[in-house]
Structure 1
């Protein structure tokens, strides 16, 4: 038997069934879901069913909020049944001042997104909401009144019921044994026959890595065992029920790493130990389905005791059952949603450690992406291509263990977690360390964040002014008064060549193609006119172009370039690993470079031009541009030549006061120029014009993907506006996701921020969803509204005189 499908979803947990449901409701036909065992087998069936609105990222929050609406309101109305959703509310409590900062930050974000998260600023507020909890040592917490818990099996089967009523097919007891691509279709061998599908979706959860291997894509997820225990009757809970009192809110203590929720007249306690236990890393046992592991409470005894000390009623119930089963973790604990890198018509919807909590929303998110050609919100936090081939077995295992252990960790801004580091190293890595680099990780790369003159210095995580502040100030001063050198090798780098190269680049995005020897900035659009990618384009010759983009965009941008190259006589090469890059920036950069090359660096090398030159005998692609607002060059060369190039520049630069600078200094300086960054400020949700890049939109005489939608949105009255804000921040430097308020009303959101060391002020780029607001603005940072004003001109060198010098 060969079954034809428009979409084949592999996996019948909450995630896969949600996608089936949402695609069916969107009008897709010939939908098939195949499940190895039965619906919910794997991890969905034994989930505790917690649902929350708490999240540090707007997209993750929307996935969770969409799930709540679906389980609580939509599915019961559609099916006439129930998903077993209990709107109990939830709270998180803490004895940690840093955690209170985190709670204040999430509450601020939620003001903008419109969800009700309330900061609790005293133990008394905690006690009033949860009378069974002792509050000694508690500073406060955060309360989420619309949170609750759901029956995972009822919710999944309700979605399946609606999907089937709209024509979808669900095949149970039908494991997949092989997957291959032939022509325009995927051929999937299953126990019940071959399925021929135009699209396939890996929603296999616990089996996600294995199905990925069949597809030919790396799925960096690992099953990890998680235990929770269910008590017998707890007298205090039974008394509340008898008295007609409302259900207790769920309570989490992230410092002690546990959650507790009411289950009928008992309680559920879920601990997260620090030493996680990965399970079946290289393949799940063939017969595994709805099985559990034996209890192993010795591993979590200390957490159980801590929870009982906080909620003494736990001791009175006795243990009815212990659930010990696998849940999947990715390297950052966020799900993998979106296109499978390098594979046509293949998608991932897997890897969620919160499958029921995020499943309803995740299915909506991917269904929109498949239907409209772009995600409904910024996808960077969940895009399945945020990890590359460098996310190997060791990486996925070490990061899964780390994420499980930090399930309740504080999410600091600028946080650098230590596990599985050093996967991608620049040729200058050792030289950077020798000069005091304190490294961070970006898309697997090690990159200097800042430089210290004290051996062994590390960043101390905080929501407030960090210990690297003075070091970054020194780096900025060096770039401003002399010259700074940065290792830019982490850039994604592509070469496009062939007879149609100019036509291809012209069809890529909103700006015109630069002439030979010139550089331009081109934004590729989504079908809806949002910013999908940002490329710096250097025209080396009429048929040869060199494109660079953000490190984290590598797989996404490669997929975009290769997909849009169809119909053009061009070749696209990813040369990220083959080429390195040095940034030489500052007023003395020309003098330093002149000592090493015979090339004309004055009139013959104007701003925004590219030349092939030799520097100290090394062939270099020199791009005269600067992201920091100073005279400068990016010097790109073969990886094997980068160290020699660095040594020559370093030697020539020392008499001029040359020093190194890192990513934090670069961020400070680009904010002073009002330059948006891809992934933070440029997103698929907003057009380049809304982000302030209107002068780079030159659509005349050209067609490009998203053109009509872009022009329509540029003329719309409800378009957003990005502004640069100066904030009276009171020594707490802004970062991201702070709400912008107009007379106390949320009207915008900060997308990136920091301290401008040259202009001596706190700066932030922010979107206003109401254009033209200028007076009575403030930014709420960690619970306090800070006065803010819109800067109509860039505060540093607004005429670009320094860059053009």
Structure 2
């Protein structure tokens, strides 16, 4: 067996073999794959093999689309039939809310060129008469997907990998990883059969690998322990049953083709044909997590006992939808582990804190995603970045606060949610509250309805103080939910008076030391601010696209305070630390501290902001502290609000006069009470994240994770004013080489009277699709919907008329000037 390789892939399921294949296809000639048992012996062998396009994630839709197209090419390349039955996928709806969900999904699918068709109940009945349709609203049909044989497609990818030079070794288990500074020493042990079990032998060796990819499926917890990291990938039991032949189906098939994969998602099951019978797969409540601390040595290609009581309701609903199955018996059953993550997305990308270690874990749709995961991860490894933004799949979206108990509770919640309505404004309740700022209880008592961001509880909006526990859940909608009017009033408070926002979840780092200034000057694309000033800037990827957005506050000549998005703490910290380590020899000592949990943040904004703060400032001339002369826009000052020391930053994400009040988190409740008392005299209103999102769109403020990401450069985001081309910075040459392929714009939209865009919609010029929205909402100032997104550069001029696809209709939209509300920033600069 080889002992030196360019890349070692650990895990021989559909995901691992795809990664090995695509690394070889991308040009890495020295790739080896290890499997501790036999190929496909993990979850791959008992997967149902469905290939659904449906996914609300833009990145995952690309991944699924690639897989479906790629699998159709394997037989021509390898000579092996992957068992792909392109029968289509019919996703039925029993309610208008479900049809609304499909229409939101469909406009996202259009941006990836995924084909679909709409079907009425009568059309379904005419085409597939065995299906009961009188209680349906309709369906969405994908004609180009279907199902595949998981073992066959894995073996086809394995053969294709071997043909491209990949070495595949079975019965070798990884027992240790050691980073030497330039490669991994991977200790492996030969596994042998003994009494039907797979046990470790005395034969061991060390493989030297420049890169390692783990695709260990159900063994992800063991892998994480070997690497010294944490992972939320924990399996959940998934049951499916196979029926005896259905005489009605057998008769119908004599003159007709195969049924598509049928999904009655409101009943939470899928079904497909299987040799004259049916395979039924339910997603029921109560499915337990397994192997939370690791897979027992005795568990190989094994299954758990079937629990028919747990799926009784889903089974009865299956009989209701296909009445001919009522007298059909059960032929076989499967209950095996399928790995999940708390948000249902896989963990695909670089491991936190480690060099050249790549994770491909937590695939609940491993067959569907396997091909695309291999393709895009290979791009990331070989080229430095993928052509799509992979941030939503990055393993570092979960920080060190995440535990196995949290992952277990959330994964058990996620499993049945797979086929529940995916409200775009939903907040799932399990494992909450977990991370709370000190003012949480005070905010809750005042009607705060919370969302969870990176584990933090953050007010989305403020409803009635006496609202029941399920108030927020009851307001969910694909249109304007019950929370909408509360957000409107919060926006008005910021624009007309004064509002207070809890922004404690912001990510915060201190960068200091003799090398800090040179490092940050290279690391970010804007000029560094002077002491006491702030700048908005961007860290780029090596490919020239946007990796992170920072507000940089210069505290001293060689000390900086960096503020970035709250959802990406571990993601930002890892990139920052690794970059500093790489440049320390060149620039000198650089110290980086993650101080996120040490500082709370309140953002106060609106025309009456000074009136509130002036009551609290301790200064010889308190009325002048916040004046433009003493405290200009885009500056920072250390001030005292009574007994609370505050790092005040004159910046406002809302586009109004305002300050961010960064304070020691242990004094937060004291400061909250001060602000509430002072604010009550001026009608101050508490404001949540949803209103803030609308406000920032009126100012065309780009947000990381929506407008800003690794698939677009700062130039394409139309942020040239924050780029200093006179200096050298990381990613500069690549950014300039890319040019401007598309451009970020703001649009005012004449949409439906009862709905606003969510930021996933396709944009059209006549009948031609020309871009997509990345953010959406409502503009209180203009009295219509608003959105931000990307279009072809030639269409990016203000005044350009376009269309937005919402609820399967095209609605008028017009590109407006950047920052349509107060384009000269007069309100932000207002003196007092």
Same fold, TM-score > 0.5, yes or no = yes
The offset of 1:53, in angstroms, is: 1.6
Where in structure 2 are the equivalents of 1:369-448 lying within 5 Å? 369-448=380-459
In structure 2, runs of 5+ residues without a counterpart are 191-204
The offset of 1:775, in angstroms, is: 4.4
Taking the aligned partners of 1:239 and 1:694, their CA distance within structure 2 comes to 66
Within the candidate set 242, 247, 250, 1:235 is matched to 247
* Cα deviations by residue, 1:158-204 (Å, 9 ceiling, x for unpaired): 11112122222222111222333333332222213222222222210
- Residue 401 of structure 2 aligns to a residue in which SS? coil
Partner residue, 1:199: 211
User: Is 1:764 equivalent to 2:787 in the alignment?
Assistant: yes
Where in structure 2 are the equivalents of 1:53-72 lying within 5 Å? 53-72=53-72
- Residue 577 of structure 1 aligns to a residue in which SS? helix
The offset of 1:751, in angstroms, is: 0.9
User: Is 1:45 equivalent to 2:56 in the alignment?
Assistant: no
Taking the aligned partners of 1:324 and 1:68, their CA distance within structure 2 comes to 26
User: Is 1:365 equivalent to 2:391 in the alignment?
Assistant: no
Partner residue, 1:671: 697
Q: Say if 2:54 and 2:105, in contact at 8 Å, map to a contact too.
A: yes
The offset of 1:719, in angstroms, is: 3.3
Q: Say if 1:523 and 1:533, in contact at 8 Å, map to a contact too.
A: yes
Partner residue, 2:583: 567
Q: Say if 1:690 and 1:722, in contact at 8 Å, map to a contact too.
A: no
Within the candidate set 585, 604, 628, 2:630 is matched to 604
Taking the aligned partners of 2:639 and 2:75, their CA distance within structure 1 comes to 68
Partner residue, 1:695: 721
User: Is 1:625 equivalent to 2:658 in the alignment?
Assistant: no
Between 298-307 and 591-600, report the one with greater CA deviation: 591-600
Where in structure 2 are the equivalents of 1:496-645 lying within 5 Å? 496-565=511-580, 566-568=582-584, 569-597=589-617, 598=619, 600-602=625-627, 603-645=629-671
* Cα deviations by residue, 1:3-49 (Å, 9 ceiling, x for unpaired): 22222222111111111010011111332221121111110011110
- Residue 381 of structure 1 aligns to a residue in which SS? helix
Q: Say if 2:88 and 2:261, in contact at 8 Å, map to a contact too.
A: yes
Within the candidate set 448, 452, 463, 2:478 is matched to 463
The offset of 1:211, in angstroms, is: 0.7
Q: Say if 1:235 and 1:316, in contact at 8 Å, map to a contact too.
A: no
In structure 1, runs of 5+ residues without a counterpart are none
* Aligned residue pairs, count: 799
Within the candidate set 787, 791, 804, 2:812 is matched to 787
Between 718-727 and 580-589, report the one with greater CA deviation: 718-727
Alignment TM-score, normalising by the size of structure 2: 0.93
Within the candidate set 716, 732, 737, 2:755 is matched to 732
The offset of 1:706, in angstroms, is: 1.4
Where in structure 2 are the equivalents of 1:286-325 lying within 5 Å? 286-325=297-336
How big is the alpha-carbon RMSD for the aligned residues of Structure 1 and Structure 2? 1.7
The offset of 1:266, in angstroms, is: 2.3
Taking the aligned partners of 1:293 and 1:35, their CA distance within structure 2 comes to 22
Q: Say if 1:721 and 1:771, in contact at 8 Å, map to a contact too.
A: no
Partner residue, 1:105: 104
* Cα deviations by residue, 1:56-86 (Å, 9 ceiling, x for unpaired): 122111111111112112x112102210101
Partner residue, 1:722: 745
Deviating 4+ runs (over 6 angstroms): none
Q: Say if 1:202 and 1:212, in contact at 8 Å, map to a contact too.
A: no
Alignment TM-score, normalising by the size of structure 1: 0.97
The offset of 1:214, in angstroms, is: 1.0
Taking the aligned partners of 2:761 and 2:399, their CA distance within structure 1 comes to 30
Taking the aligned partners of 2:489 and 2:68, their CA distance within structure 1 comes to 48
The offset of 1:142, in angstroms, is: 0.5
Taking the aligned partners of 2:590 and 2:597, their CA distance within structure 1 comes to 21
Q: Say if 1:723 and 1:768, in contact at 8 Å, map to a contact too.
A: no
Partner residue, 1:34: 34
The offset of 1:586, in angstroms, is: 1.2
Taking the aligned partners of 2:293 and 2:583, their CA distance within structure 1 comes to 40
The offset of 1:317, in angstroms, is: 4.2
Where in structure 2 are the equivalents of 1:85-124 lying within 5 Å? 85-120=84-119, 122-124=120-122
Taking the aligned partners of 1:376 and 1:45, their CA distance within structure 2 comes to 31
- Residue 721 of structure 2 aligns to a residue in which SS? helix
* Cα deviations by residue, 1:138-162 (Å, 9 ceiling, x for unpaired): 1101000001111111111111112
Taking the aligned partners of 1:793 and 1:396, their CA distance within structure 2 comes to 41
- Residue 535 of structure 2 aligns to a residue in which SS? strand
